[in-house]
Structure 1
Amino acid sequence: MPGALDGWFQIRQRGTDVGTEVRAGLTTFMVMAYIIFVNPIILGYVGVPGLDGKGLPFGPTLTVTCLTAGLLSIAMGVFTNYPFALAPGMGLNAVVAFELVAGRGLTWPQAMTIVFLEGAVITVLVLTRFREAMLEAVPLGLKRAISVGIGLFIAFIGFFTAGFVVKPNAGPLPVGLGPLQGLPIAVFLVGFVLTAWLMARRVRGALLLGIVLTTIIAIALNGLVAGWKGFSTPGAAQLPRAIVQLPDFSTFGRLDFGVVARLGIVTTMLVTFSIMLSDFFDTMGTIIGVGGKGGFLDREGRLPDARRVLLVDSLGAVAGGLANSSSNTTYIESAAGVAEGGRTGLVAVVVGVLFLVAMWLSPLASVIPAQATAPALIIVGFYMMSVARDIPWDDFEEAIPAFTTMLVMPFTWSITNGIGAGFVTYVAIKLLNGRGRYVHWMLYVAAAAFVVYFAIPFIERRLA
């Protein structure tokens, strides 16, 4: 069996071993496992005043979340031999729930049809090699900036999900220091120091070990310390009452192409375009960021056989719309497995198998609290920051767009916004300096598309 795995995934050729790949897969799954519950919470409007009860049912949504994440991650691993895992995209699911359904009044089948259509469009762009050509057209300095920006973004997600950084209910500041009291924040602080110490000691499997030990500490404290504020995720840091839960596929395959008549052709195209652009460039950023840290990119920052990765990713949107789980995309949390030494598609296969198992064992997966995975995300963010030293900081034409890309990502909670701001800034500075001829023509196309993307709210108001 190890010989067959090595032959298919080229494990020894990439300087790793089966044990490392399995451990990396476990790590990636554990930092992604939150999506099993967060996706049904978002699509189900759980706890949202005025919308609670109007969303997709929790059980079936959990099932299709695990199903699509599992099958697509396995496909990515087998078909591409890269350690990139997929699952329903955070941000994209919120757009579907709060903009398309709650905001525009679409039914869930109509909203998922929009997701299905944008996935079909991206698939066509992959098959015509347009998406791959766009990936290769990005300057090396911007590619490095995208990697750094994603690192900052991942770290910010870690601090935010842990409750260390919060959005204040009142006051002029957009973010602030969370209340440093209660059991969850104590678990996070202990877990962060513990995981950082394990990394500093260069312990093999430090991230995975940190998550496991922090979860054990959380369960112990949650059971022993009475009166402290509990964890927000249902079942977190508690021994599960049950282990097995039967999957429910009742929402699978519900599409309604009457959405075109409902919105009109122009509005349908604008909405599909905005979601498509977000999906398109989120994946590009993830591939560049995670691929760079895994040593997969060549000297020009290009990923060999990128077309295979992009094809599986584009089919993730199609599958997500069809399954009613929202668009599936390549996850930036894949960087956690790379940080653990994962270098082959076996990592993604392990992640996929664990997602499929989670369909049946979801109560067990819910035990891991966000405060246990947050330290791993922060350290992965630190890990991805290292390429900042390779950005040409004394060349302002390159450095200012790179800096813009790096900051806009975490500040707007969007990889796409960061890439768009960097592209537009890069093209504008080159043109104003009389050096527009040195810009690849596809960057002009991308910059123009982002100008439209940023202007969509204004365009829709004018059309209305």
Structure 2
Amino acid sequence: MLEFRYLARKRGNCRISTNRRRRTFSVDKFFKISERNSTIGNEIIGGLTTFLAMAYIIAVNPSLLEAAGIPFDAALTATCLGAAVMTVAMGLIANRPIALASGMGINAIVAYTLCLGETAVDWRVAMAIVFLEGIVILVLVLCGLRKAIMDAIPASLRHAIGIGIGLFIAFIGLKGGGLIVPDEATILAFGDLSSPIVLVSLVSILLAVVLQALNVKGGLLISIVVATIVGIPMGVTPLPTEWNFGLDFSAFAAPFQTVPGTDTMAIVQVFLQPALLLFVFSLLMSDFFDTMGTVVAVGEQGKFVDKDGNVEDIQPILAVDSVAAAAGGFFGASSITSFVESTSGAAAGARTGLSNIVVGILFVVFAFFAPVIGMVSASATCGALVVVGYLMLSDVTSIDWSKIEHAFPAFITILGIPLTYSITNGIGFGFISYCIIKVVQGKACEVKPLMWIAAVAFMVMFIVG
């Protein structure tokens, strides 16, 4: 009898173990983790790294949108839940480690140009403009135009976009960490080494580089956490002063809310003021090409870009990103877009959409605990961003520097992205210069029609401003 019980217990344990293996295998199979030479641990670390690198948006976006007239709590809820929903959607549908959140730049346009500038529209109308821009981009994706434009870009320019973004990311890290500061005489200057902000930045860079050299798993994440802790006694890491545990959904469905003082919905107001449609075009250009650059950059780090710069299975990525733009307007969070900081997670080992699930869960959690994220300073993430920038420069050897029609457009793209603080501007410079050089060389017929269309669109954007 005792032997029978022992065998039964043993078989039961085997059954439990088998079930556990099946559950693990199902996650592995769904996200293709082993197929992409990753592990669940790598995906979790990658997701944590991406989240910490982009978590500043939780503090920055609500502050910008509050200036536009949206209640802070409503903007915070919209920012966190919008990012969570669309990041998880990217993970489940496209299965790529590309996280999304309200885009910096576009949120500033919404706040300071649309709502507080000469146009001075209600914030609900601004969100309706964002919503319409997302719908237009989605139509372009469904028609195959967005992918066709990416396919029309010469390989040298695709590589240049990723390299330029690498420099951009490193520049953002150095600027946020106080190592690069504005200067009236020289435009830029070296920061004050005695400043606590700079000292914490140096700690984060040193840690990130050393851990990268030692091939320590999660090295970028460790550098962020340690630098955050080091910054506490130095007064660099801000400690929470208040807690907010509530959610405010009053910004949701903003385009379909009635504008105060009128009896019409916000989205109707856009069509009643045709001049606002120019903003739809302007935001569309920014979203369209920012995402293009981001996807290429993350793809190179995540190993889903081929030697010619073609992104594997790009259509679902572009579709989710397009829906996210419209969703941002609907949530009242400004346009939600792919975040270039996702490259840090890819550099930390993320290869699948499982890392996105981690990011999405953290966004939901910190919708209630935003002050904790406020503790992660720009100095703490400086090292991770600098190392990611260094990693992205490795693609520079893929460009043919012996031919000016490839070399100069690549050069001006690489230079333009960080110096104008805009991925879209850098891409525009590259497109226009490529077409001009081809015309001068008598090779205009080699330029694909969609490249001409994109170059003209950029020229219009630059002229109109």
Aligned partners of 2:376, 2:24: CA distance in 1, in Å?
30
Q: Could you tell me which of 446, 452, 461 is aligned with 1:453?
A: 461
Aligned partners of 2:311, 2:203: CA distance in 1, in Å?
38
Q: Could you tell me which of 279, 294, 298 is aligned with 2:306?
A: 298
Matches within 5 A, 1:330-369: 330-369=338-377
- Is 1:405 aligned to residue 413 of structure 2? yes
- Is 1:247 aligned to residue 247 of structure 2? yes
- Is 1:188 aligned to residue 201 of structure 2? yes
- Is 1:430 aligned to residue 444 of structure 2? no
Q: Could you tell me which of 92, 107, 124 is aligned with 1:93?
A: 107
What percent of counterpart residues are identical? 44
Does the 8 Å CA contact 1:2/1:18 hold for their aligned counterparts? no
Question: Structure 1: which amino acid aligns with 2:164?
Answer: G
Does the 8 Å CA contact 1:144/1:387 hold for their aligned counterparts? yes
- Is 1:257 aligned to residue 267 of structure 2? yes
CA distances 1:394-423 after superposition (whole Å, capped 9, x unpaired)? 111100000000000001110000000000
Q: Could you tell me which of 162, 165, 173 is aligned with 1:158?
A: 173
Matches within 5 A, 1:377-392: 377-392=385-400
Shift of 1:193: 1.3
Partner of 2:451: helix, strand, or coil?
A: helix
Does the 8 Å CA contact 2:128/2:270 hold for their aligned counterparts? no
Partner of 2:392: helix, strand, or coil?
A: helix
- Is 1:127 aligned to residue 168 of structure 2? no
- Is 1:29 aligned to residue 29 of structure 2? no
Residue of structure 1 in register with 2:81 after alignment = 67
Matches within 5 A, 1:101-116: 101-103=115-117, 104-116=119-131
Aligned partners of 2:139, 2:268: CA distance in 1, in Å?
22
Shift of 1:243: 6.1
Residue of structure 1 in register with 2:27 after alignment = 5
Aligned partners of 2:153, 2:120: CA distance in 1, in Å?
38
Aligned partners of 2:168, 2:66: CA distance in 1, in Å?
26
Shift of 1:294: 1.7
Does the 8 Å CA contact 1:405/1:418 hold for their aligned counterparts? yes
Shift of 1:166: 2.2
- Please give the TM-score of this superposition, normalised by the length of structure 2: 0.90
Does the 8 Å CA contact 2:131/2:326 hold for their aligned counterparts? yes
Question: Structure 2: which amino acid aligns with 1:215?
Answer: T
Residue of structure 2 in register with 1:77 after alignment = 91
Does the 8 Å CA contact 2:164/2:415 hold for their aligned counterparts? yes
Question: Structure 2: which amino acid aligns with 1:72?
Answer: M
Partner of 1:13: helix, strand, or coil?
A: coil
Aligned partners of 2:187, 2:151: CA distance in 1, in Å?
36
Superposed CA RMSD: 1.5
Change (3 A) 1:121 1:261: closer
Does the 8 Å CA contact 1:69/1:352 hold for their aligned counterparts? yes
CA distances 1:310-355 after superposition (whole Å, capped 9, x unpaired)? 0110111111101111000001001001101111111111111111
Question: Structure 2: which amino acid aligns with 1:58?
Answer: F
Change (3 A) 1:261 1:13: closer
Does the 8 Å CA contact 1:420/1:447 hold for their aligned counterparts? yes
Aligned partners of 2:278, 2:372: CA distance in 1, in Å?
41
Aligned partners of 2:209, 2:238: CA distance in 1, in Å?
21
Change (3 A) 1:452 1:141: same
Aligned partners of 1:71, 1:258: CA distance in 2, in Å?
27
- Is 1:20 aligned to residue 20 of structure 2? no
- Is 1:444 aligned to residue 458 of structure 2? no
Partner of 1:360: helix, strand, or coil?
A: coil
Structure 1 gap segments, 5+ residues each: 46-53, 223-230, 458-464
Structure 2 gap segments, 5+ residues each: 1-22, 256-265
CA distances 1:244-263 after superposition (whole Å, capped 9, x unpaired)? 6222212212220243355x
Q: Could you tell me which of 212, 224, 228 is aligned with 1:199?
A: 212
Partner of 2:35: helix, strand, or coil?
A: helix
- Please give the TM-score of this superposition, normalised by the length of structure 1: 0.90
Residue of structure 2 in register with 1:461 after alignment = none
Partner of 1:315: helix, strand, or coil?
A: helix
Partner of 1:87: helix, strand, or coil?
A: strand
Aligned partners of 1:22, 1:216: CA distance in 2, in Å?
21
Question: Structure 1: which amino acid aligns with 2:115?
Answer: V
Shift of 1:241: 5.2
Question: Structure 1: which amino acid aligns with 2:131?
Answer: F
Change (3 A) 1:175 1:41: farther
Question: Structure 2: which amino acid aligns with 1:93?
Answer: N
Shift of 1:388: 0.6
Shift of 1:205: 1.0
Aligned partners of 2:46, 2:106: CA distance in 1, in Å?
26
Q: Could you tell me which of 133, 147, 150 is aligned with 1:118?
A: 133
Question: Structure 1: which amino acid aligns with 2:329?
Answer: G
Shift of 1:30: 0.5
Aligned partners of 1:115, 1:180: CA distance in 2, in Å?
42
Shift of 1:268: 2.4
Shift of 1:242: 5.9
Residue of structure 1 in register with 2:10 after alignment = none
Name whichever of 189-198 and 408-417 sits farther off.
189-198
Partner of 1:179: helix, strand, or coil?
A: coil
Does the 8 Å CA contact 1:106/1:259 hold for their aligned counterparts? no
- Is 1:278 aligned to residue 286 of structure 2? yes
Does the 8 Å CA contact 1:245/1:363 hold for their aligned counterparts? no
Partner of 1:329: helix, strand, or coil?
A: strand
Task: Figure out how many residues of one structure are paired with residues of the other and give that number.
Answer: 432
Partner of 2:92: helix, strand, or coil?
A: helix
Aligned partners of 1:244, 1:108: CA distance in 2, in Å?
23
For the pair shown, the structure with the greater C-alpha radius of gyration is 2
Does the 8 Å CA contact 1:74/1:349 hold for their aligned counterparts? yes
Aligned partners of 1:404, 1:55: CA distance in 2, in Å?
38
Shift of 1:453: 0.8
